[in-house]
Chains A and B, each alone.
Chain A
Amino acid sequence: MHRLARLLVALSVAVAVTAAVPGAGASTRSRAKSDVTITLVTHDSFSVSKHVLGDFTRQTGVKVKVLPAGDAGAALNQVILTKGAPIGDLLFGVDNTFLSRALQAGIFETYRSPRLSAVPAAYQLDPKHRVTPVDHGDVCVEYDKQWFAQHHVPVPTALDDLTKPAYQDLLVAENPATSSPGLAFQLATIAHFGTKQWRAYWSKLRANGVEIVNDWNTAYESSFTAGGGNGTKPLVVSYASDPAAAVYYANPPKPTVSPVGTLLSSCFRQIEFVGVLEGTSHAKEARRLVDFMIEREFQADLPLQMFVYPVRDGTPLPAVFEKYAQVVAKPLTLSPTVIGARRDRWIEQWTDTVLR
């Protein structure tokens, strides 16, 4: 038999053997009362500590299988497409910018969790409780402190500053058509300047040399000066948790002050929701997971896993957040219904104003 064929066969045998081992380990986990596994459909950026989910299983006997399904928009659309024969029992990751589409599609079952009493009303955007808020994050303009210090340029304090000549060619933003933070930033400008004036703002931004890229990764890693490498822009549309993340993921030794700062008046609030999918055969177990997700343990785990903030009142934040992240007191917001009704049109107009 051919040498390569033999090699491939040997390789597949070896792989099959090693594949068997972790599988065997998993199956010997102790089973509690019931034997149910529920599937949580999420986006690719979802993260929670293994032991936290393990605690859920220990408490309820229900296992959770996580199913990452692309970015938030893709995951939502996949669920919408498979309505009636859902691919999972819950969907996590719908945020306020896409909420109305999710609700209109009727993919969720109503469930009002008793734990909601600990969650401020401001986050409970659906009065019918088809979705439950889990975390919030703010999309803001972030700046590279070192760059501004070195170039003796004052740090911007307001959205209007970004159109000034002092900040020419310093900002990189994402395309709202392809990027969630990009969309959030656009919505921030709409919330701030109003539906009549936001386009003029963007015209000025364009004239002031704003760089537009298609996704957050390119903006942060390739264009942002405090990002991956050879960037040239010290201002980037990113997340309010960046100052904490930058320190957390920095190579040692860790700095005393975060290298990244937040332009607090530019922040748009994003709230992420979880909902039980219509048509699930494990509604009871799914609801218990919803409860769990707004209980203390899960909420406290959120910041270091997804770099978002818990919605539950009184949840302690990790040290790196307390020390390095700035609190966004007055984020900009828009009603999800309004967003849902006009988002596509707004993106069209944005494209016209900025790209064409």
Chain B
Amino acid sequence: MDRHRAAVTGGARVRTALLLLVPVGFFGVFFAYPIGSILGRGLAPGGSVDLTPLTHVFSDPGLRGIAWFTLWQAAVSTVLTLAVALPGAYVLARYEFPGKRIVRALVTVPFVLPTVVVGSAFLALGFQPSLGAILLAHVFFNYAVVVRTVGGLWSHLDPHQEEAARVLGASRRRTWWSVTLPALRPALVAAATITFLFTFTSFGVILVLGGPTRSTLETEIYRQTTQTLNLPLAAALSIVQLVAVVALLVGTGRAEGRRATALGLRPSAEVARRPRTARDRAVVGANLVVMAALLGTPVAVLVARSFDTPGGAGFGFYRALGSVRAGSVLFVPPTDAIRNSLVYALVATAIAVTVGGLAAVAAARTRRRVVDGLLSLPLGVSAVTLGFGFLIALDTPPLDLRTSPWLVPIAQALVAIPFVVRIVGSVLRSIDPRLREAAATLGAGPARVWREVDLPIVTRAASVAAAFAFAISLGEFGATTFIARPNHPTLPIMIFRLLGQPGAQNFGAAMAASTILMALTLVAVLGIDRFRVGELGTF
């Protein structure tokens, strides 16, 4: 029986409020304020509020169609991703086989790739812009979400529960529905939510693989903001998008339910076992094939093309990275772009871990779901809106950051923070309260208990979260494209620019840079897996 102790003392409340100060402040200045500014500019252009664009969104059949398409393609993408990735998550959670660690890391690489690059890869594979291509690309990106979230929990579920059900007469299917699925529910909901959020606000994939006939709220916002400069309409669409995201977060916050500590959990090393029967081997083999085909092929295409120089396979394009358009004032040697990416990612990670860590600690003591949901909002807001919001909001000193390089890591941190909060938060919640009691009986006062018990565990969670935030920041390509920035491009931006130039050399160089980006990400992801905290981190 787990009795909940509310922080009733005034001192604890003050402490919680202080902890929340930094995250709320960060969120307020760098998210709420810019978003509010641009939405305000759109909906109250002359000073008075004009809501006709909002009604226009619902009355115009074209716009309604766009909103509807956005919704159902995200829903279908989510269901499809779950369907394809759950078996993969199962295999990686329950089976032990040589090379498992590498496979797990490789599965995560697509998640952090810039959509631009992936779009090109899919086209290179012969896909035509179509709904099928969009859905497939979405599954490609979000496979890792399911594997890490659901698989993470799955690898700790006590198999005895399922075995007990089987012995009592439940068929495999029955066991799945009545025992396994309910146990996995918190992780399933989390995975579905994240996948839906990403596919709902998907931009690059829709643009490249959707073709001109398919438009989502996100691409429409982009068009209206950057091309037509119809800010009122863009603002109205942003609001529709925001409301949908908030509704989703509220709904799934309730569904996510109680946390993992209520279940019987075992260390993952005990749960995973080598495939023994032919059926086992078939399951593992089939899923590895799916992973190789779905995730590996586009990646392999990119890598292959980067080496496919006219003089035979070689490093020609990699060398070209350092020389093509070398005289231009906007040229950055690839080492600079790599360095910029790393620096930005490090700064973004530091920000994300600090803000997210504080938020997670505070959220553990207070209304967790509200804090969680609030900080997840940046995942669901249009990157264009955010970028332009920065532009009009952050224009007075001391906050004149409009052209400051600081905006890049801030934007990246906004995307990484929800993940930090989830990781650190879930570990915090799974700390055995007996440990704190033991420390108290041994003479540790409340502050010392926190330092001796919670903090070391939180720090380890934070280092896993940091590695993840780092990987996300490396590949971030949403808001950073819409922020006017001095010439310190990151790798994804450099790739984007190369793709915008004609000629085989530029294209080959873009492929080479993409391969470098993937290699960097792979290293970061392998780092994450090395330092899994204790036993109970989701994601």
Direct contact of A and B (CB under 8 A): yes
Q: Give complex CA distance A66, B310 in Å.
A: 34
Measured between C-beta atoms, what is the minimum distance from A58 to chain B in Å?
Answer: 14
Complex interface: chain A residues within 8 A of B527 (CB)? 4, 7
Complex interface: chain B residues within 8 A of A66 (CB)? 329-330, 487
* Contact (Cβ within 8 A) B207 A214: yes
Interface residue? A230 (CB, 8 A): yes
* Contact (Cβ within 8 A) A249 B343: no
How large, as a class, is the contact surface on chain A? Answer: 35 or more
Q: Which residue of A lies closest to B119 (CB)?
A: A218
Complex interface: chain B residues within 8 A of A52 (CB)? 329
Complex interface: chain A residues within 8 A of B482 (CB)? 70, 74
* Contact (Cβ within 8 A) A221 B507: yes
Complex interface: chain B residues within 8 A of A11 (CB)? 342, 346
Q: Which residue of A lies closest to B502 (CB)?
A: A245
Q: Which residue of A lies closest to B340 (CB)?
A: A19
* Contact (Cβ within 8 A) B327 A4: no
Of A40-48, A130-138, A192-200, A322-330, the one with at least 4 CB within 8 A of chain B? A40-48
Of B48-56, B290-298, B422-430, B458-466, the one with at least 4 CB within 8 A of chain A? B458-466
Interface residue? A77 (CB, 8 A): yes
Q: Give complex CA distance A39, B404 in Å.
A: 13
Q: Give complex CA distance A214, B502 in Å.
A: 16
Interface residue? A73 (CB, 8 A): yes
Q: Beyond A82-B392, A213-B212, A222-B120, is A39–B403 a contact (Cβ under 8 Å)?
A: yes
Q: Beyond A66-B330, A74-B482, is A19–B339 a contact (Cβ under 8 Å)?
A: yes
Q: Beyond A69-B484, A178-B212, A212-B211, is A246–B502 a contact (Cβ under 8 Å)?
A: yes
Complex interface: chain B residues within 8 A of A78 (CB)? 388, 391, 484
* Contact (Cβ within 8 A) B530 A213: no
Q: Give complex CA distance A70, B402 in Å.
A: 14
Measured between C-beta atoms, what is the minimum distance from B300 to chain A in Å?
Answer: 15
Q: Which residue of A lies closest to B488 (CB)?
A: A19
Complex interface: chain A residues within 8 A of B119 (CB)? 218
Residues 388-417 of B contacting A (Cβ, < 8 Å) = 388, 391-392, 395-396, 402-403
Q: Which of A15, A175, A228 contacts B507, CB < 8 Å?
A: A228
Q: Give complex CA distance A19, B123 in Å.
A: 37
* Contact (Cβ within 8 A) B346 A8: yes
Measured between C-beta atoms, what is the minimum distance from A172 to chain B in Å?
Answer: 11
Q: Beyond A15-B343, A101-B229, A251-B309, is A4–B466 a contact (Cβ under 8 Å)?
A: yes
Measured between C-beta atoms, what is the minimum distance from A126 to chain B in Å?
Answer: 19
* Contact (Cβ within 8 A) A49 B391: no
Q: Which residue of B lies closest to A73 (CB)?
A: B227
Q: Which of B225, B309, B328 contacts A305, CB < 8 Å?
A: B328
Q: Give complex CA distance A77, B336 in Å.
A: 29
* Contact (Cβ within 8 A) A222 B486: no
Complex interface: chain A residues within 8 A of B403 (CB)? 39, 67, 87-88
Interface residue? B349 (CB, 8 A): yes
Complex interface: chain A residues within 8 A of B324 (CB)? 249
Q: Give complex CA distance A69, B210 in Å.
A: 25
Q: Beyond A5-B463, A213-B212, is A68–B330 a contact (Cβ under 8 Å)?
A: yes
Interface residue? A113 (CB, 8 A): no
Q: Which of B342, B485, B505 contacts A249, CB < 8 Å?
A: B505
Q: Which of A45, A49, A53, A355 contacts B213, CB < 8 Å?
A: A355
Contact with A along B217-231 (1 / 0, CB 8 A): 000000101111100
Q: Which residue of B lies closest to A231 (CB)?
A: B123
* Contact (Cβ within 8 A) A177 B227: yes
Interface residue? A12 (CB, 8 A): yes
How large, as a class, is the contact surface on chain B? Answer: 35 or more
Interface residue? B506 (CB, 8 A): yes
Measured between C-beta atoms, what is the minimum distance from A99 to chain B in Å?
Answer: 14
Q: Which residue of B lies closest to A352 (CB)?
A: B62
* Contact (Cβ within 8 A) A229 B208: no
Q: Give complex CA distance A249, B470 in Å.
A: 35
DSSP class of B's interface residues: helix, strand, loop or mixed?
A: helix
* Contact (Cβ within 8 A) B330 A47: yes
Q: Give complex CA distance A52, B339 in Å.
A: 26
**Chain B interface residues toward A at CB < 8 A:** 41, 119-120, 123-124, 126, 129, 207-208, 210-213, 223, 225-229, 305, 309-311, 316, 324-325, 327-331, 336, 339, 342-343, 346, 349, 388, 391-392, 395-396, 402-403, 459-460, 463, 466-467, 470, 481-482, 484-487, 496-497, 499-507, 527, 530-531
Measured between C-beta atoms, what is the minimum distance from B527 to chain A in Å?
Answer: 5
Measured between C-beta atoms, what is the minimum distance from B389 to chain A in Å?
Answer: 10
Q: Give complex CA distance A110, B129 in Å.
A: 45
Interface residue? A80 (CB, 8 A): yes
Q: Give complex CA distance A227, B82 in Å.
A: 37
Q: Which of B484, B486, B487, B530 contacts A4, CB < 8 Å?
A: B530
Q: Give complex CA distance A18, B338 in Å.
A: 12
Q: Which residue of B lies closest to A180 (CB)?
A: B227
Measured between C-beta atoms, what is the minimum distance from B440 to chain A in Å?
Answer: 26
Contact with B along A164-202 (1 / 0, CB 8 A): 000000000001011000000000000000000000000
Q: Give complex CA distance A133, B470 in Å.
A: 44
Q: Beyond A44-B497, A77-B229, is A8–B470 a contact (Cβ under 8 Å)?
A: yes
Q: Given contacts A41-B484, A48-B328, A48-B329, could you give 4 more A-B pairs where the C-beta distance is less than 8 Å? A: A2-B463, A4-B527, A229-B507, A251-B309
9 closest A-B pairs by CB: A249-B503, A69-B484, A74-B226, A175-B212, A251-B310, A222-B123, A47-B328, A212-B212, A49-B327
- Give the most central of B331, B336, B504: most A CB within 10 Å: B504
* Contact (Cβ within 8 A) B346 A12: yes
* Contact (Cβ within 8 A) A218 B327: no
Measured between C-beta atoms, what is the minimum distance from B496 to chain A in Å?
Answer: 8
Interface residue? A250 (CB, 8 A): yes
Interface residue? A65 (CB, 8 A): yes
Measured between C-beta atoms, what is the minimum distance from B224 to chain A in Å?
Answer: 10
Measured between C-beta atoms, what is the minimum distance from B483 to chain A in Å?
Answer: 8
Complex interface: chain B residues within 8 A of A291 (CB)? none
* Contact (Cβ within 8 A) A49 B329: yes
Q: Give complex CA distance A85, B37 in Å.
A: 15
Q: Which residue of A lies closest to B347 (CB)?
A: A12
19 A-B pairs within 8 Å (CB atoms) are namely: A4-B531, A5-B466, A8-B346, A8-B470, A11-B346, A47-B330, A70-B482, A81-B392, A88-B403, A178-B227, A214-B211, A215-B207, A227-B502, A229-B124, A242-B502, A245-B502, A249-B324, A249-B506, A251-B316
Q: Beyond A213-B211, A215-B207, A249-B504, is A49–B402 a contact (Cβ under 8 Å)?
A: no
Measured between C-beta atoms, what is the minimum distance from B122 to chain A in Å?
Answer: 9
Q: Which of B129, B316, B484, B499 contacts A213, CB < 8 Å?
A: B129
